[in-house]
Amino acid sequence: MNEHFLEIRDVSKIYRVGGIIGATKIAAVDHVSLALEAGKPQILSVVGESGSGKTTLARMIARLIQPTHGEIFIDGKSMSGSLNHTQMKEFRRKVQPIFQNPFESFSSRKTVDTYLFETARNIAGAKNKAQAHQAVDQALTSVGLTSDRVIGRYPNQFSGGELQRVSVARAMIPRPELLVADEPVSMIDASLRMNIVNLFKELRDQYQVTILYITHDLSTAYYVSDLIAIMYRGNIVEYGPSSRVLKQPAHPYTELLLDSVAKIGEKWSEVMSLPDMETKEYGYSACKFAGRCPYVRDICRQVKPPLVDTGDGREALCFKLVDYQNVEHRPVTTDPITTDKVQEHAI
């Protein structure tokens, strides 16, 4: 039995942007490490804005993209890199994706049940029609739908919320251990979101599934997750139990996010002035948030911030927590990776 169910070890994804001459390298995901305990199904939210790298990270875990550096382990086995046929089958049984736009998740020319049956036969091991039907029925029931309502219909015959449930049902057919859900409710109306979000909680409890929930919406992240990782420009800047992170943020960026959310129930404290940092922000090779941080000091601009354990189950990437001391004796860098273009190529 492995200690970790999901382990992301020093994973980076670097893109080259620009022409043949003078291209810049952008680290969409920059040396990210994360580990989830085995035997404990949880909901982990990865929260960030555009350019944070959250979607890139999710797609690497779901094997839609390959990492440039680093490795991803599931149940102790490496699942990034090239896999043979059997290994792929095992991967697909353990890890399933759910995408943001339910209408794009199915071909408009096919009935949605074809995907359900394919999953049942190819991945869940159904050997005949009866078994496949049974698997599909069960999966649909687990998301609150019935087979007769779903089978034989095309995507345009469903509402967004229903179709997203079909997506979840499909993903659940092989009884996966990990669901990677990329902004699963952002295209669904606010009044209907809770139906799906609550469903994730049920799946975690009833079917012992760990769910990786990617979102930019802090409110649903708070509501549904056990753990939360806040990403900024490719780094995880804060990570820990969601209630603690969101109630007592350790990282200045988390603070800024929390402050800026258009919350119901609490009006914005003062009129905030928006700096022009969008056009003038330079990718600091040291702390990427240095250009916007209200607590910035010199060391933040010169040295890469350390990952600090706050002692209450959280980690944050910030000098403020160690009194601005270069505790890990990291070098002063002038790394040419720039991040000012990441915003335009929102990944």
Residues 175-214 that bind other proteins (CB under 8 A): 189-198
CB 338 within 8 A of CB 24: yes
Instruction: Supply the minimum distance, in Å, between the C-beta of residue 107 and other proteins.
Output: 5
CB 110 within 8 A of CB 103: no
Instruction: Choose the binding region for other proteins from 37-45, 126-134, 217-225, 311-319 (rule: CB under 8 A).
Output: 217-225
Q: Is 256 in the site for other proteins (CB under 8 A)?
A: yes
Question: With respect to other proteins, which residue has the nearer C-beta, 27 or 196?
Answer: 196
Instruction: Choose the binding region for other proteins from 8-16, 104-112, 303-311, 312-320 (rule: CB under 8 A).
Output: 104-112
Number of other CB atoms surrounding residue 95 within 10 Å: 23
d(CA 126, CA 140): 16
CB 112 within 8 A of CB 171: no
Instruction: Supply the minimum distance, in Å, between the C-beta of residue 167 and other proteins.
Output: 8
In single-letter form, the type of residue at position 335 comes to D
Q: Residues 5, 106, 213, 289: which binds other proteins (CB under 8 A)? A: 106
Q: Is 268 in the site for other proteins (CB under 8 A)?
A: yes
| Helices vs. strands in the chain: H and E counts, helices first | 12, 12
Window 40-69: contact mask with other proteins (x via CB under 8 A): ---------xx-----------x-x-----
Restricting to residues 116-145, name those near other proteins by CB under 8 A: 118-119, 121-123
Instruction: Supply the minimum distance, in Å, between the C-beta of residue 177 and other proteins.
Output: 14
Conformation bin of residue 160: beta by default, left when phi > 0, alpha when psi is -120 to 50 = alpha
Q: Residues 38, 261, 307, 337: which binds other proteins (CB under 8 A)? A: 261
The SS3 of residue 205 is helix
> How far, in whole angstroms, is CA 94 from its chain's centroid?
17
Question: With respect to other proteins, which residue has the nearer C-beta, 234 or 306?
Answer: 234
Q: What sign has the CA pseudo-torsion 16, 276, 234, 216?
A: negative
User: How many residues contact other proteins, by CB under 8 A?
Assistant: 71
d(CA 155, CA 160): 9
Q: Residues 114, 134, 157, 206: which binds other proteins (CB under 8 A)? A: 114
State both tokens at 156: 């345009």
Q: Is 151 in the site for other proteins (CB under 8 A)?
A: no
d(CA 183, CA 98): 8
Nearest to 235 by CA among 23, 8, 71: 8
Instruction: Supply the minimum distance, in Å, between the C-beta of residue 279 and other proteins.
Output: 6
Q: Is 38 in the site for other proteins (CB under 8 A)?
A: no
Question: With respect to other proteins, which residue has the nearer C-beta, 186 or 326?
Answer: 186
Q: Is 104 in the site for other proteins (CB under 8 A)?
A: yes
d(CA 140, CA 195): 15
d(CA 308, CA 292): 20
Question: With respect to other proteins, which residue has the nearer C-beta, 258 or 337?
Answer: 258
Instruction: Supply the minimum distance, in Å, between the C-beta of residue 31 and other proteins.
Output: 23
Restricting to residues 154-173, name those near other proteins by CB under 8 A: 159-162, 167, 170-171
